[in-house]
Structure 1
Amino acid sequence: MAEKVPHKIIYTQRSLANIRAIRSYLLYKFTQKEVDNLYRLINEFESVVAVFPQLYPLITGSKKVRRAVLSKQLSVFYTFSKDALRIAAILDNRMDNAKWPR
């Protein structure tokens, strides 16, 4: 069986801002342990989705954007092409879905 070539992971400015905001909130309300867990979840997600980009379902009303639920509180929205995977947003699941990327 041929080995799959991982997709290149690209973070948008929005997704980077999302990570910074979540990190700040976690440090304000909790401890470094929760921040470390956030980064661990994201790293594990990257490892899997880079090889299997169709693993997570499309969001309702979209033909390109997929949503990966990483924890009860965290979702990653992304699109992919032949060679790259673009992280569009990383959001708290408690947010109104009107703020989801389309």
Structure 2
Amino acid sequence: MCPRKRVTLIQLDANQSRAEHITLHDGPIESVLDQDVGTLESPLRLYGRVWTGGAQPVIRYYEAQFLKGKDRVPICAVARLGFGQLRKRPESMPGTAILNAPRAGMYIVDEFR
């Protein structure tokens, strides 16, 4: 289920949605899509993985779940650096990424590179 390539803003971490600065850790992530994109209707939970080893974290999403209780469906999406949202703060420790923004752009892609 990969809708046409589109971008929308997402809440990066469902557990830190109201925070000014958020901390991501290597491993699983649960994000929130609160705007429709393609055939994905909001509100929607996105499930994926975070890697924090570089200058900015890499976030890939593999599954989505509609909040109306439907089953999880496979997706292929990434969070990307847009206006600096995914730039790590200098005080980020290994295995973490402290970010200035709780939101970032999410892109539906055909495959991961």
Q: TM-score, normalised by structure 1?
A: 0.32
Query: If the length of structure 2 is used for normalisation, what is the TM-score?
Result: 0.30
